[in-house]
Structure 1
């Protein structure tokens, strides 16, 4: 009888996850479809909504995809245009809705691989069901994630998916004992890294840097990574690079640190939009650089702050995301001593990402889009620990 009750409970919890996943799927599908039809009525071909302002990258991707469809010369800023073009070619159509559904598939895959990643460490943990529910709800109502994946046919959803998938296969290889043979995990990791780099080069660079640091510290600390060592190692390496290799061009992205700083500064010189951070990193010495750099990191991480509010957009960002992310950050910081090696790896991926985007990005609108990559690992961590907290609290009451 007890076994039957336990089985019933497990089935009920699994059903809850399935129903919430269907809710997630429905929310993303309905919002994307509604935006598509409103956009058509407004004469925007179903690509976006006219009242959101700013240029729509989806228009560019669609134009290039049409060029691929009709075998015309096209601009390949990323592989996204080529993928969309061959999708249209395969189905012999110009349908924007088909491309929207392709991105919708990416949203579903992102949710699935994130749940797999959560389950990777919480395998046989009784609180996994609760943590999975929290993760689905957070993904379902994360404003920027929801809008970026439904407003148009942006490439971002595939960057998020490949980034998390790379993290998953890296964990299979170097952190957990996977049921799959090493060669399969290795080939899948290389494939995902290739696709990630094809969509956004510096996303791959960020993943590789964080993974490299993790492996080095794993060897040094013998599988017991100290977070202070990570911070010290990263800051020391970054300082040496800043002082000695500022003009060195990375072969893969063909940019130097100085090039990125110049790009950021040029945006400050010519841009007058209301969502700028106005944080200059082009400083005469490294002390001033670090002061502004950490301010830029904090702004990209949980900004805008109240004193950075310049309009309705930044106010909405602060209210819907800034406060929530601050609370999640405090929650995770208080549990830092409980972090496993895998938790630390997720944290490294997040911090390295924010370190990189904080060098180049000075815009809150762009930042809300870019920081999703860095927040995905943190949201998985949050779901794990908050799920455990709720599970323990529920058991104490019962």
Structure 2
């Protein structure tokens, strides 16, 4: 009950903040962000687009259903209420291992995720993408766990459709999602190891870099040179010999958040990255309790993170890109926790039963 009350209090606070900002448009729409670009395109400006999101907004405008405040309100409802409820649903294990009280903790944890709340304050595509991603996770889980063959097949079709939507919203996000759905059947997270997974991945990446196969990502990464922002890491993967050390620095700086160019980066580290690191360590230490759904999250997280880590050099952008990794690991942690508690309890009962019989 305490988690429900905390969630309700957080929802009330967020709605108050949103209402204040919408009533003060000079603060809410202060300029210089992606929301201005999306709004201009929705209203008919001839701009270059990189995803389907601006076209969705323009379509709403053509049907007379678009307003910046209205879309922002819808995204706020998604980010503040719907997405946390979806995370709870996905974090709750099925069957005898189910512990809804524990999974409600995920409700509070996702509700205090600052980056998610920030992107509910305007017409950014990130909240919509996270919503589609979570629907995709639900479909993936149904395709693994449903007792009915027709339900599993229907869920698999939904996975492909939602993966296609993610691809339209952000190409490499959809690519990683679909690859994970196909590849997770070949990978078992419970067998994860430094020399069985991490070292081979680094060596293969280094090999691809030497052959020039990573040049499209390197070219995109070089675009950050033109901006020279204060939150840029300045890592450019200049040589084959320095690739692995540079990648590890890049991983610790962007993915784990050990890069502090400003005070806000320190705050985000303690609110986002530190809980994620703790959860990641817990997940690795208890990986033997993983199931096929956790295997999917693992494969997706690796593929997706590899792409954006190689193509991005900015910490501010990284906080947006890594949401799917962070939320995925949060869900996986709660599933593993419940499965571990169930198996430990079952083993204890079996031992007690043996003692009684003896």
Question: TM-score per shorter chain, which class?
Answer: 0.7 to 0.9
Cα distance in 2 for residues equivalent to 1:340 and 1:238: 27
Corresponding position: 1:210 with 2:180:
yes
1:187 maps to 157
For 1:297, which of 236, 251, 269 is the aligned residue?
A: 251
Paired residue for 2:346?
A: none
8 Å CA contact 2:279, 2:333 repeated in 1: yes
Match of 2:116 among 125, 137, 145: 145
Match among 326, 331, 335 for residue 375 of structure 1: 326
Q: Residue 371 of structure 1: CA displacement?
A: 0.8
Q: Does 1:324 align with 2:275?
A: yes
Residue 241 in structure 1 maps to residue 198 in structure 2: no
Cα separation, partners in 2 of 1:87 and 1:21, compared to 1, 3 Å: farther
Quote how far apart the aligned CAs of 1:164 are.
Answer: 2.5
201, 204, 227: which one pairs with 2:192? 227
Is the CA contact (8 Å cut-off) linking 1:265 and 1:282 kept in structure 2? no
The structure 2 residue matched to 1:112, chosen from 64, 67, 85, is 85
In the alignment, which of 56, 67, 74 is matched to residue 33 of structure 2? 56
Could you tell me the TM-score, scaled by structure 1's length?
Answer: 0.75
Aligned position for 1:136: 107
Contact 2:71 2:123 in 1 (8 A): yes
Cα distance, 1:97–1:202 mapped onto 2, change above 3 Å: same
Alpha-carbon shift at residue 370 of structure 1 (Å): 0.9
- 1:79 aligned to 2:56? no
Structure 1 position 125, deviation (Å): 2.8
* Residue matched to 1:309: 260
Number of residue-to-residue matches in the alignment: 340
**Shift of the alpha carbon at 1:278?**
1.7
The CA deviation at 1:343 is: 2.1
1:65 corresponding residue in structure 2: 42
Q: Which residue of 2 aligns with 1:198?
A: 168
Deviations 1:139-166 (A, max 9, x none): 110111111222x210001211222222
Shift of 1:353: 2.0
The verdict on how the C-alpha distance between 1:326 and 1:163 changes in structure 2, with shifts beyond 3 A counting, is: same
Asked whether the 8 Å contact 1:130–1:388 carries over to 2, the reply is: no
TM-score, L = length of structure 2: 0.82
Question: Aligned-pair distance for 1:20?
Answer: 5.4
Matched position secondary structure for 1:181: helix
Contact kept? 1:130, 1:391, Cα under 8 Å: no
- C-alpha distance in 2, partners of 1:105/1:178? 33
Q: Offset at 1:88? A: 3.7
1:338–1:390 distance in 2 versus 1, CA, 3 Å = closer
Q: Which moved more, 1:288-297 or 1:337-346?
A: 337-346
RMSD: 3.1
Specify the alignment match of 1:355 in structure 2.
306
Q: Equivalent of 1:258, from 215, 219, 228?
A: 215
- Does the Cα contact within 8 Å between 1:127 and 1:388 map onto a contact in 2? no
Q: Unaligned stretches of 5+ in structure 1?
A: 1-12, 219-223, 248-256, 393-398
Cα distance in 2 for partners of 1:170, 1:126 equals: 18
Match of 1:165 in 2: 135
Contiguous gaps of at least 5 residues in structure 2: 344-358
Name the CA distance, whole Å, in 2 between partners of 1:201 and 1:335.
32
Task: Rate the CA distance shift 1:26–1:83 in 2: closer, same or farther, 3 A.
Answer: farther
Contact 2:301 2:325 in 1 (8 A): yes
Q: Distance in 2 between matches of 1:177 and 1:387?
A: 19
Tell me how far apart the structure 1 counterparts of residues 147 and 251 of structure 2 sit (CA, whole Å): 35
SS of match in other structure, 1:202 = helix
